[in-house]
Chain A
Amino acid sequence: MDFLTLLQVLDSTVRLATPLLLACLAGLYSERAGVFDIGLEGKMLAAAFLSAGVAYVTGSVWLGLFAGIAASVALSAIHGLASITFRGNQLISGVAINFLAAGLTVLIAQNWFKQGGRTPSLIGGGRWENITLPFAETLSGVPVLGPIYAELISGHSLLVYVAFAMVPLTWWILFRTRFGLRLRAVGEAPEAVDTAGVSVVGLRFAAVGICGILCGIAGSYLATGLQAGFVKDMTAGRGFIALAALIFAKWRPWYALGACLLFGLLQAVALRYQNIDLGGVVIPVQVMDALPYILTVVILAGFVGKAIPPRAGGEPYVKER
């Protein structure tokens, strides 16, 4: 494999890892606060549809982004209502949200655009433009580092940089602010937070809300950055890969970046090469598809380091009387 091909694979790794990373960090906030969220997939899907639809109608990708975030936050509100206010089963609520998004997006898209459940292709202002970082042109002549800067680091859309900036920001919020400390505490020992006079319900709703915003950005990027428009089921299991990455990362922001880049690389390789020939042994493309899930099961099984979820995860909090 020559240097240029490697750069192209890594470039598409960055693009494919972006929605995974955003959704993974979204899940991180929610699950660190003790609310399991298997509805990441549905929230991304709803955001992808609404952002593509609004971006097409208005021609503004920014309005599309806000609409996508609104759709995702609305689903988060349902999740919060079910799992925090009414103390229902968080997993079942997540399943319901996934189906709600899968059904409603196609239903509304068909009614709106009459193109078999998809939005028309986005052109011009309806898509994110790639940003060329300063000096990318002039520096591209420098050996090795020049092409890396020009091809790999420069030339992505704004949301890619937002996603990568979210990693240190999330770390800072969770581990260096009072809000972050309380958010983590509410996922480990909500009764202690309650005793300290801080609202468990409020914190959990805040976490679920942040989760909705980040999922909304992830979905918007899918439909208006990575691709040009919404098609039925376009998330294609990315929400679950993000969930897998979250477990793989043991609920930590920097590890999440590593896990998402790894899973993004797997996707990029599977996209570029169908079957990989390793000197006699052929790895079929299906192995690449299944690898994130297999790795997650191995990690969950505790054979390679143990993944311990937040202690109060999945448990609705009932105030003692």
Chain B
Amino acid sequence: MDKMPAWADAVLVPLISLLLAAFLSALVILAIGENPVDAFKLMVDGALMRSSGWGYTLYYATNFIFTGLAVAVAFHARLFNIGGEGQAVLGGLGAALACLFIPWPHWSLAIIGGAFAAAAFGALWALIPAYLQAKRGSHIVITTIMFNFIAAALLNYVLVNLLKPAGSMEPATANFPEATHLPSFQDMFATADNPLFRGSPANVTFFLALIACVLVWLLIWRTRLGYEIRAQGHSETAARYAGISPVRITIVAMLISGGLAGLMAVNATMGEAERLVINAAEGAGFIGIAVALMGRNHPVGVLMAALLFGFLYQGGAELALWTNIPRELIVVIQALVILFTGALDNMVRMPLEKLFVKRRAA
């Protein structure tokens, strides 16, 4: 056996990659003349030391859980869904249409209806690339990239020409009706003498994201379909011999992936903005790639990675507010995480494997 133990693969490799990314980020902060230790303290203060900071951290994390799970499910079938951004944009459109044109009596029904609409729109936007990959062999990475741009143009058109209220200059829909207002953490947990989560956007959708984590775990490791998805991911030829249809698995996996990405809109559109604005996905579709890579495509890993990125996002906003470090620092950290946990994985893994083999031999 020239392999390292499972725990090292699941924990040690991502951890070392993360440390490498953190070290390089610290160097970047040093290079622009700021103190990385102070910066980190400020991020922790802003994101984790106050309940309103947690409110933002959990709000961002909710987005990233959905998009991270979306990328992870597709990865299990060895499909790289880079189109989470476009699918989330379309999910926002679905949620907005459901909220604006159906008179919901209560938020509990609105969230179910909105979630279905968002997931359906997201899934449909993933269906075309999936079909083209399965039936025509067009590379899914390229088609999903193209669909991100097409989605942006489509949303731009729909907002400017169809959904914008008369007289408004801003490309956004009207505000959603009061009944679709999702309870925020402030509504749920704050009391008169203990004002928790004041003004922060975290809302009930966070629990929906946790349920999604459990459901994805059940799907991937406890159902026949999940087994077939993993089988195709490990070896398509073996899966084909076992009678698993690659066309069906490709399409189903991408539908689930697109649906999960679309669900992000429930949080961003119904939970926070309460209307559909342009650029509602805010790049969360791409952060899903980093989250899935870091979380090793496991729902627990995705949850933890999403919390980490939620912290980075909120902490980065604090840094931009109080120091000369712009928010783009987070984009750099995100890039380093993708680079080390995704592309340069072998750079960390190979020496570690050698180390473990040597220790076992000794």
A positions within 8 Å CB-CB of B: 38, 78, 81-83, 86-93, 95-100, 102-104, 106-108, 110-111, 117, 237, 240, 243-244, 247, 284, 286-287, 289-290, 293-294, 296-297, 300-302, 309
Q: Measured between alpha carbons, how far is A259 from B150 in the docked complex, in Å?
A: 18
Contact B141 A88 (CB under 8 A): no
Contact B153 A92 (CB under 8 A): no
Contact A91 B141 (CB under 8 A): yes
B72 at the interface (CB under 8 A from A): no
Asked, given contacts A89-B342, A96-B335, whether A117 binds B326 with beta carbons under 8 Å apart, the answer is yes
Contact B33 A100 (CB under 8 A): no
Contact B331 A102 (CB under 8 A): yes
Contact B132 A82 (CB under 8 A): no
B242 at the interface (CB under 8 A from A): no
Can you name 20 extra interface pairs (CB under 8 A) apart from A86-B345, A293-B149?
A: A90-B343, A92-B342, A92-B343, A95-B82, A95-B342, A96-B343, A99-B332, A102-B331, A103-B331, A103-B333, A107-B326, A110-B326, A117-B328, A286-B160, A287-B153, A289-B149, A297-B146, A297-B147, A300-B132, A309-B139
Q: Measured between alpha carbons, how far is A297 from B149 in the docked complex, in Å?
A: 12
Contact of B154 among A98, A106, A290 (CB under 8 A): A290
B96 at the interface (CB under 8 A from A): no
Contact B328 A102 (CB under 8 A): yes
5 interchain residue pairs of minimum CB distance:
A103-B331, A99-B335, A93-B343, A103-B332, A92-B342
B51 at the interface (CB under 8 A from A): no
Chain A nearest CB, measured from B316 CB (Å):
10
Which A residues lie within 8 Å of B146 (CB)?
240, 244, 293-294, 296-297, 300
Which B residues lie within 8 Å of A91 (CB)?
80, 82, 141
Contact B344 A108 (CB under 8 A): no
Which B residues lie within 8 Å of A244 (CB)?
142, 146
Chain B nearest CB, measured from A190 CB (Å):
18
Residue-wise interface mask of B (112-141) relative to A, using a CB-CB cutoff of 8 A (1 in contact, 0 not): 000000000000000010001000111101
Contact A86 B344 (CB under 8 A): yes
Which A residues lie within 8 Å of B346 (CB)?
86-88
Contact A296 B142 (CB under 8 A): yes
Contact A286 B154 (CB under 8 A): yes
Contact A100 B332 (CB under 8 A): yes
When C-beta atoms are compared, the residue in chain B nearest to A93 turns out to be B343
Contact A302 B332 (CB under 8 A): no
When C-beta atoms are compared, the residue in chain A nearest to B156 turns out to be A286
Contact A78 B330 (CB under 8 A): no
Contact of A88 among B82, B149, B160, B344 (CB under 8 A): B344
Contact A107 B153 (CB under 8 A): no
Asked, given contacts A89-B342, A100-B339, A102-B331, whether A38 binds B141 with beta carbons under 8 Å apart, the answer is yes
B positions within 8 Å CB-CB of A: 28, 32-33, 80, 82, 128, 132, 136-139, 141-143, 145-147, 149-150, 153-154, 156-157, 160-161, 286, 289, 293, 324-326, 328-336, 338-339, 342-347, 350
Contact of A290 among B33, B153, B161 (CB under 8 A): B153
Contact A89 B328 (CB under 8 A): no
* Chain B facing A: main interface SS: helix
Q: Measured between alpha carbons, how far is A106 from B325 in the docked complex, in Å?
A: 10
Which A residues lie within 8 Å of B345 (CB)?
86, 88
Which B residues lie within 8 Å of A297 (CB)?
128, 132, 138, 143, 146-147, 150
Q: Measured between alpha carbons, how far is A178 from B343 in the docked complex, in Å?
A: 31
Contact of B332 among A83, A86, A107 (CB under 8 A): A107
Which B residues lie within 8 Å of A309 (CB)?
139
Contact A38 B338 (CB under 8 A): no
Contact B132 A108 (CB under 8 A): no
Which B residues lie within 8 Å of A289 (CB)?
149, 153, 156
Contact of A103 among B150, B153, B289, B329 (CB under 8 A): B329
When C-beta atoms are compared, the residue in chain A nearest to B346 turns out to be A86
Which A residues lie within 8 Å of B332 (CB)?
99-100, 103-104, 107
Q: Measured between alpha carbons, how far is A199 from B15 in the docked complex, in Å?
A: 35
When C-beta atoms are compared, the residue in chain B nearest to A42 turns out to be B335
Which B residues lie within 8 Å of A287 (CB)?
153, 157
Contact of B339 among A96, A290, A301 (CB under 8 A): A96
Contact A111 B33 (CB under 8 A): yes
Contact A96 B82 (CB under 8 A): no
Which B residues lie within 8 Å of A240 (CB)?
145-146, 149
Residue from B128, B160, B289, B338 whose CB has the most chain A CB atoms within 10 Å: B338
Contact of A95 among B147, B289, B329 (CB under 8 A): B289
Chain A nearest CB, measured from B69 CB (Å):
18
Q: Measured between alpha carbons, how far is A296 from B153 in the docked complex, in Å?
A: 15
Chain A nearest CB, measured from B17 CB (Å):
12
Residue from B32, B139, B142, B289 whose CB has the most chain A CB atoms within 10 Å: B142
Which A residues lie within 8 Å of B82 (CB)?
91, 95
Contact B338 A106 (CB under 8 A): no
When C-beta atoms are compared, the residue in chain A nearest to B337 turns out to be A96
Chain A nearest CB, measured from B22 CB (Å):
15
Chain A nearest CB, measured from B130 CB (Å):
12
Q: Measured between alpha carbons, how far is A88 from B346 in the docked complex, in Å?
A: 7
Contact A82 B153 (CB under 8 A): no
Residue from B138, B325, B334 whose CB has the most chain A CB atoms within 10 Å: B138
